[in-house]
Structure 1
């Protein structure tokens, strides 16, 4: 369950009733409810809200390393550290929160760079905007890979498709091989593809449409070149202590990412990436 009573939880409520919930632990978006609509993100009921532990579901921030593609802990350290709340405000049409993470003795011990991350979450109507910004505050260049590891909630994975991937090259992390997505729709679930873990390159600002029966979510991104589509399937899900055995059938990750070509920042430079979700 979401620890809504905790002082480390930030609640956003837009004037039209759209809501979002964030945890300062990990700078983690836990919930998104568009106006007059149900929950759109999957959050595992077995998630641990403990120091050094990553929350399972919602939108984890992967930084400065994606997955195990490097020497750092899996998905880096941003998703397991405490962030600070910079601001929270409600406008005429929206609600916005800004969270911040700076380097520390602990981060510099494993990644020797001075940096500042800002996560901005804006909710209004049927839309959600998640923006991640990084500034190099050090005296040397730095490189990182990153992703907004968005867990979309679904009712039945067999009924879900993702449109907009046709013609893209991808890396299959299960088969450890590259391939070309030839069909316009990626079908998932027992009738389609199980144990799905793919990095699609060159997505950039191309919109993706996630459809399930009458529900459609359009996902667009700016500043992110790649996208990850992930579902553990039943066998891998059963091995995840922080997921219920059937949790795989209730979620699909569609992640804005920069993996194929790491972001490089010179001293004083900054980068911004955004993922926007719209419920149609």
Structure 2
């Protein structure tokens, strides 16, 4: 594959051009393996081992020019795989222009002296926000738990995601949840830590757009600014005998996301 001329050298990696003039980043490990990443979609289009053998398929007819996504390699499908409502096939991230994160160390070596990396960023444009106007928020600590879905007559499901994210109305009760839950706000680089005691369940609710418009005491677009994560006792009632006591406790703290791992103690924490 011919990749243009006059590569620009930058701190351990080089930026070259594809056949349509678009930027690609080439990084090489100390032992000679290489990866080529198209900035269109942040997509890996070539991976060669230290003998120069190509390990990935990319079509010889790949266009490398928006609005056509690159055919082959390792695409980034976000926010969904396949078709979803009005969003384009496999999401918009694979057809947007990414940039090199100049503030991050561009090249790093592992203990075996055979690793190299570069950090790429996808910054949202005004058009992106119009088609995907959702908060960059996720909840961690509820993975693999059963939940009751209040949108489907409290039918019981098991959470399959690595974290709870939001792209539609949600009204769930996660049962038997751990004592520590984290709500991560990527945009503000802030994490809310929820610690609870005596309250076994967690309610997660966001009305999304349609229900927001139907509530007289709720702004039409305010679903983008809020998230309800509430400790509760829902699945099993707490029953006290005469003279018994019960205490429910909820503690909420906010920390910088870069420091939040020091505050979490659930398995698989950040």
TM-score w.r.t. structure 2 length?
A: 0.43
Q: Which structure is richer in relative contact order (CA contacts within 8 A, separation 6 or more)? A: 1
When you count strand as a share of all residues, which structure comes out higher?
A: 1
Q: Return the index of the structure with the highest Cα Rg.
A: 2
